[in-house]
Amino acid sequence: MQHNTLAFKTMTSENTKHILDILNERSEFVVSCPEHLALLCAIYATTRRQSLVIIAPDAQSCERISNCLFPLLAGGTDVFRPLRLERRTVSPYADALEDPMFVASRMRALGLMTFSDCPFALVMEAKQASSLYMPFDVFVEASLRLDRGSSVPMEAIVEHLSKTGYARTDTVTEVGEFSVRGGILDVFSPFLEEPCRVLFDGDTIEKILVFDRFSQRAQRPLSHFFIVPAWEFYGSEERLRQATIAIRDLQVERRAPQGDIVLESLEEGVMPLGFYGFYSCLYDKLDPITEYIPEDVPVFVLEPETTMANMESTMHALVEEYESLREEPRLIMPPESLCASSSDFFKALESRKNTYSCNIGTMNTVFGYEDDTRLVIVKQTEPAKRVTVFVDFVRDLTDKGERVLISCPSEEDAKRLKDIVHAYNLPVEHAGIARLSLFLEPFSGIRTFIAPLEEAFFVPRLGLCVIPSETIFGAKTKSKDKDTRKAQKRFFALQDILVGDLVVHKEHGIGRFLGLEEVEAGEVTHDCLVIEYKGGDKLYCPVERADLVEKFVGGDGGEVAVDKLGGKSFTQRKSRARKQAFEIARKLLEIYAKRMQGKAYAFSPPDADFRAFEARFPYETTRDQEEAIEDILNDMCKETPMDRVVCGDVGFGKTEVAIRAAFKAAMEGKQTAVLVPTTLLCEQHLMTFEERLKDTPVVVEALSRFRSDEEIKDILKRLATGAIDIIIGTHRLLSNDVKFKDLALLIVDEEHKFGVSQKERIREFASSVHTLYLSATPIPRTLHMALSGIRDLSIIATPPRDRLSTKTIVAKESDGIIKEAIERELNRNGRVFFIRPRIEGIEEEAKRVSKVVPCARVAFAHGRLPAETLENTMRAFIRGEVDVLVSTTILQSGIDIPQANTMIVQDANRFGLADLYQLRGRVGRSFVQAYCYFLVKDTNKMTDAAQKRLGAIEKYRELASGFNVAVLDMDIRGAGRLFGAEQSGHIETVGYDFFFEMVSDAIKELSMGEVPVRVEPDLRLRVDARISALYVQSDIERLRLYRRFAGAQDIEELKRLWGEIRDRFGSPPIETKNLFRVVRLKILAREAGISKIVETENTLEMHFAHGYEQNMAEIRMNFGSDVEVKGSNMVLVRKDRKDGIERCESLLQFLLNRDKVLVSAVRG
């Protein structure tokens, strides 16, 4: 099917006309696959600049249409809003709270359909189409348009937000939040994907800016935006009055006792439990989704009969559930008030002028039909041979004049595929992102493009074959999460210091933080951190020196003694800690020197076979993973033994990085040993490695106590002869009887969990082979800096691209909700954690779960079981021999089980916030949607504190919590042990950052023969320098900013912080400007070696640190009579009509900008 350019353009124009003619002339047509409907709709929408709606019978069809349609629309010249209408996460009759994130997602879709200036494309399945929604007129009434230049009192907007489900916070990071700071309103409306900052001048809106919810920095201006409801109730005075009457009537009818609690929640703008079961009574009637679809927008229904049948099935299931609850005293409404009947829905569609029925078939199809069985053959070919079969297939297509488009999920995958195909002398051109013109424009041969397509398809009418790269390399899980996640912070940051927390001051030791306090000194007001010490003594630490204070990390739950202010105890502990820091530094340098002298096998660069193996990874890799993999491959290509640590939260892809390194070794005939601390982790790694390497010739075995003596003997024999490529084992691998034929790579998982003698044996191995360490412990910046140049670090801090946020549901406990949660997970072949707070009664609870879900295989586990029994139970759960594991919180520090993606937490109100965070983190570690149910026995008897905890955990859903939620004291100590701090006591008693600062100094001293001079200037200036409580009202936020000011290391970092503050809080008052100047002066003073500056009425005392005396002479020489030298390290400077800061800066700028290089005369 050869085409010259002119003929092709003519054909393309004819095809576009053909599509439009079909839609003008008839309301029914046939396509051969869902992707053809997507292509047809893309042509229609872009030609007409028209919104459209597609209704599909099931989730799979929706996904296939969305994955094709949305990229085609996004790549065009017009802006289209891609919309998905989120399905409710629980049945409307579940006595539960739905995740606010998914409620907001629905409100976004409704808002954009109602108010968007751009055309939209909505794709939804039958179940979503059958739901009834907040009445359209109420939705419009509850929405608010804000325009730049318009006049509206901020108080009126705040009142409106409180009536439409928004929560007031200090910092806006989640949908449905708002904050007020003077004349600035931050609000995250579901209408937009990022929050907005509204700046007022009186009652006039001066600016509207979109800002980044992570950095809090403004990104771009807007002329207007809409505040749409954050949930499906509008709490105006009149509607609350109507709601009170309706709830009271329903309460009497249903004999339900919870009416008062529901009304109280509605008045407070908080969604009550079971809201969707009764919210139809709050309105005269709910509206079908068709009420939100403008009349001129076409609706395409794929497989109408199947779609109608699925809608009827949805209604039938609701009727059954309602009937089962008919006698229960609960606030619920009948199904017909919550769900549209299929007949009513289709009547509404038929009454519209632009409704199209689209069936799937093979005859008279819009784009033609072609059934090429060779595509099936490609898919069924074993992965190792699939590339060759695919290349032959594609070459045959291009020889016949067919055009071939290959979709790839990312640029990295496109580059990898291009390299692989090029090795077969088949030219490939990369066309970039998907766009409709790519399908229609003339080209010959093969092109790759970026789109998440799932299925291959022919378009005979266009002479085109579209093939996903997954056809060659296997299916990759696709991300359904619209929230584009930014890269998380690369280093672990300690949590905010709160009033009552223990803190460590670098000079005075452990005390208790009492808060911020204004202190008058010499007619100047200072903000100070107040720290209480033994005996009630208080230290007032100026905020500009807040970097001397860090949160106390450590202890094993017992009481921690605070220090005496001015006592010797902390000084003695610092001395002991410094000695240990030197020991760690010495050990690290010894290991480094030994490694530099060693010689390992230098591997060849990656070839096409390796790239094909990479491409078969079933998920998209993150940038962090890609960088870690390339770093490791580069290390392995050198003769110097690799010594690299890969750090990343559990489930972030460290194992895949290790597997690729082991595969590379095996392909060159070398062996790999994978060392793990526990038998269970050994078993898990064996399953992971075997699954990933199953289509390769690589032989994987495991050595642990789960193997019989005879099996161990056979494994050792094959290992010694080279018949095993990868051996995974516990410390048994370190035994003297374990012999390798040609070991070239050692992978150590969680090294800090091994004993001292085992670590020494590991280092013996590591001296002559490439060694890769895997760790899930967070690495703080101080530790990273201390190790720079000694141990190589790769940080995987970004969550996988395809990872979905865990759906969190707070619900009243019932057999029904437990049954629903477990059966949903079992239906997708998953497993369930069932967590309870107490050991007592755990066996009976397991029996109860078995009765509720008879098809489930249930086991129980807790810390008092014999070690072997506990291990065997966990092993059965890992291997899928147990479906539901009823256990205590021992799982918090358990191993990763990707197949377990539902967690039920019983009596959730009895757990602390840290426990809830960590428990929820045990699920959602694979690429399927995870669910976490927090169940409570009686919501009426929950304490306020418990309600706040559950509210916080329900709202907080960021990934990478292991790196960014500071509830990981044990992990932090683990990071210290990972790099040689076997006893964590010294770290804990002097502070984590301070200790590794000591390690860094010790490394420099031992390696360079010099004692580093650390200068931390103490500035005592006659200036009001602080962040006013009127400017930043939240004490937590002010302290957070003070710590960032004090911790700024250079002028550029300070300028970025200053820009953020002006952006977030508006024009700063004079005292905050002074703080910026003081901190800038501190940074300059540090560089110039000045340890203290004291300002008096007419002079400035400038004290120089030891080693910087030359700078005193420079100032004296160039500033003459204005400067007087006092003693060996101080100069006295006349202020000369300038304020203290300005005078100091002029002197320091001279020092730092002169031609001579300013250095400290450090002494050995």
Residue 129 amino acid letter: A
Which pLDDT value is given to residue 778? 55
Please check the confidence at residue 31 and state whether its pLDDT lies above 60: yes
Tokens of 790: 């000694």
Average pLDDT over residues 1084-1101: 87
The DSSP annotation for 122-175 comes to: EEEEHHHHHBEES-HHHHHHT-EEEETT-B--HHHHHHHHHHTT-EE-SS--ST
Q: Say which residue the tokens 């870690």 belong to.
A: 628
The verdict on 341 and 395 lying in the same domain is: no
Among the residue ranges 183-187, 403-407, 1013-1017, the one predicted with the least confidence is 1013-1017
- Is the predicted pLDDT of residue 1011 greater than 70, yes or no? no
List the helix and strand counts (H, then E) for the chain. Answer: 39, 45
Q: For 622-651, what is the mean pLDDT?
A: 88
689 closest CA partner among 732, 714, 655, 731: 655
Same domain, 119 and 153: no
The answer to whether position 1134 is within a domain reads: no
Cβ contacts of 765 within 8 Å, gap of 6 or more: 673, 734, 743, 746, 771
Taking only Cα atoms into account, the Rg of the chain, rounded to an integer number of angstroms, comes to 33
8 Å CB contact between 734 and 758: yes
Residue 1032 lies in a domain: no
Concatenated DSSP letters of 286-342: -EEGGGGS-TTS-EEEESHHHHHHHHHHHHHHHHHHHHHTTTS-S----GGGTB--H
Residue 1043 located in a structural domain:
no
Can you give the pLDDT at residue 305?
95
| Residue 131 sits in the same domain as residue 164 | no
Mean pLDDT on 976-990? 56
Query: CA quadruple 415, 417, 419, 422: dihedral positive or negative?
Result: negative
Mark whether 318 and 447 lie in a shared domain: no
Looking at 193, 227, 261, the residue that finishes a domain is 227
Q: Is residue 1127 part of a domain?
A: no
**How does DSSP assign 883-923, residue by residue?**
SEEEE-GGGGG----TTEEEEEETTGGGS-HHHHHHHHTTS
Query: Rounded mean pLDDT of 264-288?
Result: 88
pLDDT level of residue 805 (50, 70, 90 thresholds):
low
**What average pLDDT score do residues 153-182 get?**
92
Tell whether 642 and 766 lie within a shared domain. Answer: yes
pLDDT at 904 over 60: yes
The CB-side HSE value for 996 (13 A sphere, CA atoms) comes to 22
On whether the CB atoms of residues 677 and 686 are closer than 8 A, the answer is: no
In a domain, 579, yes or no: no
Span 91-106, mean pLDDT? 81
Q: Please give the structure tokens belonging to residue 403.
A: 């055009």
Residue 844: partners with Cβ closer than 8 Å, 6 or more residues away: none
HEC assignment per residue over 830-892: CEEEEECCCCCCHHHHHHHHHHHCCCCCEEEECCCCCHHHHHHHHHHHHCCCCCEEEECHHHH
Q: Residue 425 maps to which CATH number?
A: 3.40.50.11140
Residue 611's domain is classified under what CATH number? 3.40.50.300
Query: CB-based burial of residue 306 (10 Å sphere; 0-12 exposed, 13-18 middle, 19+ buried)?
Result: middle
Query: Considering only 66-75, 683-692, 1119-1128, which range has the smallest mean pLDDT?
Result: 1119-1128
Report the domain count for the chain.
5
Q: Is residue 366 part of a domain?
A: no
Q: Which residues contact 137 (CB under 8 A, 6 or more apart)?
A: none
Q: How far apart are the first and last CA of the chain?
A: 80
- Asked if 608 and 629 sit in the same domain, the reply is yes
* Dihedral (Cα; 383, 389, 391, 394), 10-degree rounding: -120
Q: Residue 408: which H helix or E strand, with range? A: strand 403-408
Pair of tokens at residue 869: 């029994």
Region 814-837: mean pLDDT is: 88
Question: What pLDDT, on the 0 to 100 scale, is given for residue 962?
Answer: 34
* Overall average pLDDT of the 1067-1082 stretch: 91
For 278, residues 6+ apart whose C-beta sits below 8 A from its C-beta are 247, 250, 262, 331, 332, 333
Lowest mean pLDDT among 449-453, 678-682, 803-807: 803-807
Q: Which residue segment(s) compose the domain that 462 sits in?
A: 373-473
Tens digit of each residue's pLDDT (9 = 90 or more) over 464-496: 899 998 887 766 655 444 333 333 333 333 356
For 335-363, how does the pLDDT look when each residue is reduced to its tens digit (9 = 90+)?
999 999 999 999 999 998 889 999 999 88
Element (DSSP H or E) covering residue 39: helix 34-48
Q: Do 883 and 813 lie in a common domain? A: yes
Instruction: Specify the DSSP element, H or E, that contains 1120.
Output: none
* DSSP state string for 1018-1083: EEE-SS--S--TTTS--HHHHHHHHHHHHH--SHHHHHHHHHHHHHHH-SPPHHHHHHHHHHHHHH
CATH code assigned at 308: 3.40.50.11180
pLDDT winner (highest mean) among 394-408, 896-910, 1121-1135: 394-408
Task: Decide if 813 contacts 937 (C-beta within 8 A).
Answer: yes
Of 751, 773, 796, the residue that ends a domain is 796
pLDDT in tens, 756-779: 677 777 777 767 889 998 887 655
Amino acid 779: pLDDT: 58
Judge if 124 and 246 occupy the same domain.
Answer: yes
Distance of CA 647 to the CA centre of its chain: 16
Residue with tokens 């009420």: 291
- CA distances for 966 relative to 393, 491, 685, 1048, angstroms: 53, 12, 28, 21
Maximum mean pLDDT: which of 781-790, 916-925, 935-944, 1119-1128: 1119-1128
| Count of residues in the chain | 1164
Question: Is residue 467, in this structure, part of any structural domain at all?
Answer: yes
pLDDT at position 944: 57
Q: Is the dihedral of CA 12, 18, 24, 26 positive or negative?
A: negative
| Contacts of 151-156 spanning 24+ positions with Cβ under 8 A | 151/203, 151/204, 151/205, 152/203, 152/205, 153/203, 154/180, 154/183, 154/185, 154/200, 154/203
The arithmetic mean of pLDDT across residues 218-234, rounded, is: 93
The string of pLDDT tens digits covering residues 907-956 is 887 776 556 766 776 777 666 788 888 888 765 555 555 555 555 555 54
Burial of 596 (0-12, 13-18, 19+ CB in 10 A): exposed
Band (793; pLDDT cuts 50, 70, 90): confident
Same domain for 688 and 755: yes
C-alpha span between 649 and 930 (Å, rounded): 17
Average pLDDT over residues 304-333: 92
Q: What percent of the chain has pLDDT over 90?
A: 32
- Decide if 984 contacts 771 (C-beta within 8 A): no
| End residue of a domain, out of 209, 227, 245 | 227
d(CA 472, CA 478): 16
Average pLDDT over every residue of 492-519? 80
Do 879 and 792 share a domain, yes or no?
A: no
Q: What pLDDT is stored for residue 539 in this prediction?
A: 93
Pairing relationship of beta strands 509-521 and 446-450 according to DSSP bridges: unpaired
**Amino acid, res. 721:** T
Question: What tens digit of pLDDT does each residue of 827-860 get?
Answer: 888 899 999 988 889 999 999 999 999 999 999 9
Q: Are residues 624 and 764 in the same domain?
A: yes
Q: What is the pLDDT of residues 1030-1057, one digit of tens each?
A: 898 888 888 889 988 988 888 899 999 9
User: Is there a single domain that holds both residue 748 and residue 842?
Assistant: no
* Residue 722 predicted with pLDDT over 90: yes
How far, CA to CA in Å, does 232 sit from each of 364, 631, 842?
A: 45, 50, 39
- What is the arithmetic mean of pLDDT over 75-91? 79
Asked if residue 764 belongs to a domain, the reply is: yes
Region 677-696 average pLDDT? 86
What is residue 554's predicted lDDT score, i.e. its pLDDT? 56
DSSP secondary-structure letter at 813?
Answer: -
Average pLDDT, the chain: 82
Closest CA to 886 of 936, 831, 930: 831
